Amino acid sequence: MPTTQALQHQQSKYARTIECNQLTIGAPFHWLSLAFKDFLSSPLISLVYGIVFSIIPYFTLQLLSVEASPLFIIPMVVAFTLIGPVFASALYDVAWEMEKGHKPSFKHSVKALLRNQISLWAFAFILLLIMIAWVRLASLVFVIFPTTSNASLMDMAVFLGIGSLIGGFLSIAVLVISAFTPQIIMERRIDIMTAVFTSANAVKRNLLVMCIWGSLIIAAVAIGFLTSAVAFVVIMPLLSFASWHAYIQTIKTKKQRAFE
Name residues whose C-beta falls within 8 Å of residue 162's C-beta, 6 or more positions apart in sequence.
141, 144
173 class by beta-carbon count within 10 Å (0-12 exposed, 13-18 middle, 19+ buried): middle
Stronger pLDDT, 258 or 96, i.e. the higher one: 96
Q: Considering only CA atoms, which of 217, 260, 252 is closest in space to residue 236?
A: 217
Range of the domain at 171: 31-249
Q: What is the DSSP letter of 147?
A: -
Q: What value, to the nearest 5°, has the Cα angle with vertex 23 and ends 18 and 29?
A: 125
Q: Considering only CA atoms, which of 139, 131, 136 is closest in space to residue 77?
A: 131
Rounded-to-integer distance, Cα 173 and Cα 81, Å: 12
Tell whether 8 is covered by a domain. Answer: no
Tell whether 9 is covered by a domain. Answer: no
Tell whether 111 is covered by a domain. Answer: yes
- The pLDDT score that the predictor gives to residue 260 is 36
Q: Considering only CA atoms, which of 26, 51, 47 is closest in space to residue 38?
A: 47
Q: Which percentage of the chain shows pLDDT scores above 90?
A: 30
SS3 182: helix
Q: Considering only CA atoms, which of 233, 232, 231, 259 is closest in space to residue 245?
A: 259
Q: How many distinct structural domains can be found in the chain?
A: 1
Tell whether 221 is covered by a domain. Answer: yes
Q: What is the DSSP letter of 20?
A: B
**pTM greater than the 0.85 cutoff:** no
Q: What value, to the nearest 5°, has the Cα angle with vertex 168 and ends 165 and 174?
A: 140
Q: What is the DSSP letter of 251?
A: B
Tell whether 7 is covered by a domain. Answer: no
Tell whether 160 is covered by a domain. Answer: yes
10 class by beta-carbon count within 10 Å (0-12 exposed, 13-18 middle, 19+ buried): exposed
- The pLDDT score that the predictor gives to residue 28 is 96
Rounded-to-integer distance, Cα 82 and Cα 175, Å: 10
Stronger pLDDT, 15 or 241, i.e. the higher one: 241
pLDDT at 239 exceeding the cut of 90: yes
The letter for the amino acid at 151 is A
SS3 55: helix
Tell whether 178 is covered by a domain. Answer: yes
- The pLDDT score that the predictor gives to residue 74 is 58
Phi, psi of 208 (to 5 degrees): -65, -45
Tell whether 5 is covered by a domain. Answer: no
pLDDT at 99 exceeding the cut of 90: no
* Residue length of the chain: 260
Express each pLDDT in 212-230 by its tens digit.
998 998 899 889 888 888 9
For range 30-59, the mean pLDDT: 90
Express each pLDDT in 57-71 by its tens digit.
777 777 666 655 555
- Cβ(209)–Cβ(166) under 8 Å? no
- The pLDDT score that the predictor gives to residue 216 is 93
Q: Which percentage of the chain shows pLDDT scores above 70?
A: 73
